[in-house]
Structure 1
Amino acid sequence: MAGHRSNCIAQAMQLLRLPSSTSRVTVSRAPSHLRPPRTQTRTYATSEEAVSPAAPEIDFSTSSSRSPARIVPASPAYFSGSPRFIDHVLKLEKLQTKYSGLPTMEASEAPRMAWFKLAQFRDFVGEPVPTKKYKSLVKILQRLNRIQPAAVPAEVRSTLESFLRPGNPYAQQLAPPTVDESGRARGRGKRKESSAVVHLVEGEGEILVNGRSLVDVFKRVHDRESALWALRCTQRLDKYNAWINVRGGGVTGQAEAITLATARALLVHEPALKPVLRKAGVISVDARRVERKKPGHVKARKMPTWVKR
């Protein structure tokens, strides 16, 4: 009985799977000339029949429009971070290669040129140029500047002039200081916050500082020796009179400012003393300044004393 029931179930399942002969519907197809065009659908078949052929290349000679397929920038550095700077570098390198065979001179003999400072060059190109890259550009400029002046092409000269600061300071030669009609030579010196002006004239060795004697202004012997060291090292203490005006700073700064001003005034009278004064160290400018105090510090770098309890 159980076996007969299972056979009935199997036959019923087969009848459900097979379509019924009575449910079949015949669909008549339309004629071929009335059928809509067949659209090609995308398939993932790997056979050669299923893959569509590649598109042919564009022939611009036969096309009606002569416009290019894409816009090509005029500058080769258009897609870089600093295109204008790179354009300048490429132009200079091209000039350096083109005129590499021209005669050159030593770097010490080449004419001095005041190139753009870094901040000025950044404003000139309108781009944030790094310092290292700008130094590489200046090296190319210096190499082109070493060409013999008689052989410099006009193209190179005009390019170098475009990188000069406005008002070339090396092209302006200052008139050398001279002795005035009264026989006085003027010298000015600065040190720290002090500035001094010295008028030196031939005399018996009289020194006045702000209308007072040297001893009244400088109490220490070291400051008096420092102020007159330019005259003492050249043995000119008793040959010149000096009228000195000094202001600002402290005693030591004022004494060292007088030293520089006296040496410069002495060079106006006797330029041959420059090697002696240079060796004595009195015509070298000391540009050192006191470091500023910082917030939260006792001085420039000293911190307050730390106490745990």
Structure 2
Amino acid sequence: MAHREFSRGVRRAVDSLGNLPRSQCERTIRIARRSFHGSASRCVSTTTVRSAEFTSDTQEKFTAAPPIDFGKASGGKGGGKRLLQTLRVVPASPSYFSAKPTFTDDYISLTALLRRVATLPIIPTSEAPKVAWKTIDQYRIMTNEPVKTQRFHKMLHVLRRLNCIHPTLMPPEVMQAMQRYKKDVQPGDIKPAPGVIDEWGRAKGVGRRKTSSAVAWLVEGEGEALINGKSLAQFFGRLHDRESAVWALKATHRLDKYNVFGLVTGGGVTGQAEALTLAVAKALLVHEPALKPALRRGESVTANLLPFHPPSRLVSFPSEPHVRRPCFICSCRLTRGGGRIVVTSPA
């Protein structure tokens, strides 16, 4: 009976401790302990009773599913149907649960293909066939996936490595795999129409530089130049612009072999001169296609440099002696004869 009264008193004291300060709480607990004589001392919790304290901590024993006995399951009446109901369908794509399955599949297939052909001989990147790969925007539209730029560049790196395989040893499966990532139009598909020489012996060339455009006609002659109906020295006041306009002829030593007739429009003087450079070079290639390597180098190999005539003003001369004519680049009067070259300033 005393125990029941004590327990009731303790519970009432515990409920009232929530609103009391800490000093009063400790004082009430000491009074409750003194009121009960003859009982063993024990700790009293001031928190409310929780249901989790009454559950056991021991866990149940884990039992795995028994292994499937295919022989037993397939035998008997209806065993095969029950087995099919318990099987899990394996996704065809290894990236079925990925946010971008198409890109992941493409990258996995390309890397696996690269591992198979990694031992084949390769050629330098500069000698590999020129290929125009699809841009990241075109690939996103094709796959309908928001592919990141960094991941797309990793795939392009694998494609460029596959493209470096020696063309004579390129496997058909590699060519078929790379065709998916190529643009519809390749650099080698579009070939410009070959230039022709008309009935008057003229070859036409077109050049552009910034907002300037030029059209040049080249015909065999003595080295005359007319630009928009004016001589080269009258149209271009600066020596640098005159040299730029006929640089293709100067670099190939053809200044005295062709006449130039040009029409230039738009832009400034320097832009017109550089546009005319390209136009004259294209027209020259129609006459002599073998000069393309020399024009690509753009270097003029001059011989017999004269101290009184700068190398930038040197022109070639006909083989006849005692020839006197003006240099259409710098307007100097040059005379050749008796093994000497005399330069006379313009009057």
TM-score (structure 2 length as normaliser):
0.58
The AA in structure 2 aligned to 1:136 is K
The Cα RMSD (Å) is: 3.7
1:46 to 2:51 alignment: no
Do the aligned residues in 1 keep the contact of 2:218 with 2:284 (CA within 8 Å)?
Answer: yes
1:94 corresponding residue in structure 2 = 112
Do the aligned residues in 1 keep the contact of 2:130 with 2:187 (CA within 8 Å)?
Answer: no
Aligned residues: 245
Structure 1 residue 65 displacement after superposition: 7.2
2:34 corresponding residue in structure 1 = none
Do the aligned residues in 1 keep the contact of 2:251 with 2:299 (CA within 8 Å)?
Answer: no
1:161 to 2:179 alignment: yes
SS across alignment from 1:114: coil
Counterparts in 2 of 1:282-301, with a 5 A limit? Answer: none
**Equivalent residue for 1:270, pick from 282, 288, 295:** 288
The superposition leaves residues 26-68 of structure 1 with CA deviations (integer Å, 9 ceiling, x where unpaired) of xxxxxxxxxxxxxxxx9953276xx656566377767947456
Deviates further, 173-182 or 128-137: 173-182
1:83 to 2:101 alignment: yes
1:260 corresponding residue in structure 2 = 278
Structure 1 residue 201 displacement after superposition: 0.7
1:57 to 2:71 alignment: no
The superposition leaves residues 199-249 of structure 1 with CA deviations (integer Å, 9 ceiling, x where unpaired) of 111113332223344344334444333323333344433321222121111
Structure 1 residue 193 displacement after superposition: 0.9
TM-score (structure 1 length as normaliser):
0.64
1:198 corresponding residue in structure 2 = 216
**Within 1, Cα distance between the matches of 2:132 and 2:231?**
45
The AA in structure 1 aligned to 2:284 is L
The superposition leaves residues 83-111 of structure 1 with CA deviations (integer Å, 9 ceiling, x where unpaired) of 22121110011112223344544544443
**Within 2, Cα distance between the matches of 1:133 and 1:174?**
36
SS across alignment from 1:189: strand
- Percent identity between the two aligned chains: 46
**Within 1, Cα distance between the matches of 2:299 and 2:168?**
40
1:208 corresponding residue in structure 2 = 226
1:184 corresponding residue in structure 2 = 202
2:320 corresponding residue in structure 1 = none
**Equivalent residue for 2:148, pick from 94, 105, 130:** 130
2:27 corresponding residue in structure 1 = none
Task: Mark the CA change 1:71 to 1:182 in structure 2 (over 3 Å): closer, same or farther.
Answer: same
**Equivalent residue for 2:133, pick from 94, 115, 123:** 115
**Within 2, Cα distance between the matches of 1:194 and 1:281?**
24
Structure 1 residue 162 displacement after superposition: 1.5
